[in-house]
Amino acid sequence: MAKVKGAVKINQNRCKGCDLCVVACPTDVLMLQPKEVNDRGYHFAFMNNPEACIGCASCATVCPDGCIEVYRVTIK
Amino acid sequence: MTTEDIIRPENLVYRKPRLLNDNHMHYCPGCSHGVVHRLIAEIIEEMGIEDKTIGIAPVGCAVFAYNYVDIDWIEAAHGRAPAIATAVKRLNPSRMVFTYQGDGDLAAIGTCETIHAANRAENIAIIFINNGIYGMTGGQMAPTTLEGMKTSTTPYGRRVDLNGYPLKISDLVAQLDGTCYVTRQSVHTPAAVRKAKAAIKQAFTNSMEGRGTSLVEIVSTCNSGWKMSPAQANKWMEENMFAKYPMGDIKNTVKK
Amino acid sequence: MEEDVRLMKGNEAIAHAAIRYGADGYFGYPITPQSEILETLEAEMPWETTGMVVLQAESEIAAINMVYAGAACGKAVFTSSSSPGVSLKQEGISYIAAGELPALIVNVMRGGPGLGTIHPSQADYFQATKGGGHGDYHLIVLAPATVQEMADFVTLGFDLAFKYRTPAMILADGMVGQMMEKVVLPPARPRRTDEEIARQCPWAVTGKPATRKPNIMTTLELDSYQMERNNERYQRTYRLIEENEVRYQEYYTDDADYLIVAFGSIARICLKSIEEARKQGIRIGLIRPITLWPYPYKTITGLSKRIKGILVVEINAGQMIEDVRLAVEGRVPVYHFGRLGGIVPNPNEVLDAFKHNFPEAQ
């Protein structure tokens, strides 16, 4: 059976660390940086668990700042 | 397969629309405005009507909408967006004209313009962000503030004996013969965002086709004004706002 | 439509002149004594002929914002009202000025303050010439004295508004709005095409083609330094208008010992008074400012050096007299005669007032 694998690219400087993508992710891929902040002082989101990403784009769909690019491949 | 292997142009499934430019939005983290701005940019791109679209920005947090979505805009005086949209559309009938307004702008100071534009069946789309509070001025009571809800001008909660009732303006507007489509949506989950996008697209299509006035209410959060985290605000909205402002179409006269 | 000679009211002349000018839109709300403008436009149905939009708005406020919108699109649009309604429009007028937009506003003045009376007045002089709305701005203010000028100033007002990208106002009174006279209507000009608007008004909000950046009409600027620069730009425009657009009419000033200054229909009454005075050997001249802003200060300053006194006649409690006094710089006495509450003086009253103020003239 084909397996879907995804990845996201997050515009770290645009991200405001609102956490909504983290909440929306069905596979617990994303997390906010616990310590590091971006140029504007926000704990930006990153792929903490990239293996689990299915490229469903839920995170990008709810992102208020359009920070997230979603990529997906189907592995046969 | 590594993340780098996946992040290649041929595998791209979603990126922010071109018309949503790279300016940092001034909105608070988690604000619903950003999602709706992005949807508007996506829809205009998908419909291929960038050169036919004129947006009317309000007074309120979204006053700077014109800094983020790269189309032609007119910034309206507080509440007057539907009057401005009326003139723009009548003088430029081939254009898709929409207003973007908050609850204070649309349902308090601009109630007259809202109702009369809708009653004249102006061929415009109204995007109505209802978060039950005045965001830009610092969290004062809005006409849509829920009973008991605390704001900076109802510090002990809205009391109907003092402040009247939350105004369900969309239900009011739906009564008017001039409206063809009135719907209430939200953007707090991926599924809700997809529905809201379809609704806004319908409203924009109605403007292009000259079917009358469309109003898309987006029940939204103002986590700063509500003094919650964005995730908590979404939950609070589901539990409290949706009871007063239920989701779904209020009126749709457009035959599918 | 060819040139046409007609008998009509001043208000009707404005409506016909606007259609013939090639105006793109009118947005108004009924109020006496100017409702004939909207009524005439609705009866003429110019949307069937020139494509001009005519709309009875839900309020004066909505109407002026529709004008702001149309002007932002580069269209030639106008509104009309009378004093209380024009008060309601002031916020929108301030936006139009701040947006550096061309638009025409007609005020057919009635007596105030408050709901006042429906009879003629000139009591909105301060409002029209000194600001009216919030912020530092000016309107080009044209004061018609005849039905012919009601028609002519539509063209002049639009032309000046587009030349300087600033709102212009026709400040008429209820008398010139309501009275009927012969008027020569100009031949019709076609409305500008969308291509002409895009060329002449590259700033216009039209829908953004891929070839240009977004056009954004906003009056908000939170950067105070940029807002100061914006204001300086407005002021440069106003200085340019002051240098180039002062208009006035002089009668009998060559040999005058005294001067009457009056605007609008009152100037015509004063002319009758002056002709009667001259029969009695009293040499009075008349200055009728046509532009109330910019004001003909220099002309009055010059005349004040060779006359003995000035009577300012207005149907208000004394408004334009302040500008006359600024021009006169204390050289000669400046007195005021006015009726209030919608009453128009007759020529004998004006002459009596003159003699009362200048008894040595007889």
Distance from CA of A28 to the nearest CA of B (A): 15
Instruction: Flag if C68 and B77 touch (Cβ within 8 Å).
Output: yes
Residue C255: which of C283, C228, C276, C281 has the closest Cα? C283
- Stretch (H or E) spanning B217: strand B213-219
Q: What is the ipTM of this complex?
A: 0.97
Superfamily of domain C4-196: Thiamin diphosphate (ThDP)-binding fold, Pyr/PP domains (3.40.50.970)
Instruction: Flag if B84 and C61 touch (Cβ within 8 Å).
Output: no
Question: For chain B, what are the domain ranges?
Answer: 28-252
Unique residue bearing structure tokens 């898709």: B96
Helix then strand count (H, E) for chain C reads: 14, 15
Q: B28-252 sits in which CATH class?
A: alpha beta
At B255 the pLDDT is 72
Distance from CA of B59 to the nearest CA of C (A): 10
Residue C194: which of C184, C186, C204, C180 has the closest Cα? C204
Question: For chain C, what are the domain ranges?
Answer: 4-196, 248-361
Q: Apex CA C219: angle with CA C38 and CA C77, to 5°?
A: 20
Amino acid at C238: Y
Q: Which residues of B touch A73 (CB under 8 A)?
A: 1, 5-6, 11
Instruction: Flag if C210 and B51 touch (Cβ within 8 Å).
Output: yes
At least 3 CB pairs under 8 A between chains C and A: no
Rg of chain C in Å (alpha carbons): 21
Rounded-to-integer distance, Cα B116 and Cα C62, Å: 10
Domain count, chain A: 1
Rounded-to-integer distance, Cα C103 and Cα C170, Å: 11
Percent of residues, chain A, with pLDDT higher than 90:
93
At C301 the pLDDT is 98
CATH architecture of C248-361: 3-Layer(aba) Sandwich (3.40)
* Neighbour subunits, A (≥3 Cβ pairs < 8 A): B
Q: How confident is the model at residue A75 (pLDDT cuts 50, 70, 90)?
A: confident
Nearest residue on chain B to A26, judged by CA atoms? B190
State whether residue C70 sits within 8 Å of chain B by CB: yes
A10-43 residue pLDDT tens:
999 999 999 999 999 999 999 999 999 999 999 9
pTM for the predicted model, two decimal places: 0.97
Distances (CA, A) of C182 to B168, C6, C80, C147: 55, 6, 22, 7
What mean pLDDT, rounded, does chain B reach?
A: 97
Instruction: Flag if C62 and B50 touch (Cβ within 8 Å).
Output: no
Rounded-to-integer distance, Cα C42 and Cα C30, Å: 12
DSSP character at residue B28: P
State whether residue B186 sits within 8 Å of chain A by CB: no
DSSP character at residue B51: G
3-state DSSP assignment of residue B233: helix
Distance from CA of B97 to the nearest CA of C (A): 9
Exposure string for B15-35, b = 16+ CB within 10 A, e = fewer: bbbebbeeeebebbbbbbbbb
Amino acid at B52: K
Q: Which residues of A touch B13 (CB under 8 A)?
A: 6, 55, 57, 70-72
By Cβ distance, the residue of B54, B63, B112 closest to C205 is B54
Mean pLDDT of C209-219: 96
Mean pLDDT of C323-350: 97
Range of the domain at A19: 3-75
DSSP string, chain A: --EEEEEEEE-TTT-----HHHHH-TT--EEE-SS---TTS---EEESSGGG-----HHHHH-TT--EEEEEEEE-
B29-54 residue pLDDT tens:
999 999 999 999 999 999 999 999 99
At A2 the pLDDT is 78
Cα-flanking dihedrals φ and ψ of residue C183, to 5°?
Answer: -140, 135
B168-191 residue pLDDT tens:
999 999 999 999 999 999 999 999
Q: Apex CA B33: angle with CA B30 and CA B39, to 5°?
A: 110
Unique residue bearing structure tokens 């005086």: B77
At C362 the pLDDT is 84
Q: Which residues of C touch B53 (CB under 8 A)?
A: 207-208
What mean pLDDT, rounded, does chain C reach?
A: 97
Instruction: Flag if B229 and A19 touch (Cβ within 8 Å).
Output: yes
At A1 the pLDDT is 64
Instruction: Flag if A55 and B6 touch (Cβ within 8 Å).
Output: yes
Q: Which residues of C touch B111 (CB under 8 A)?
A: none
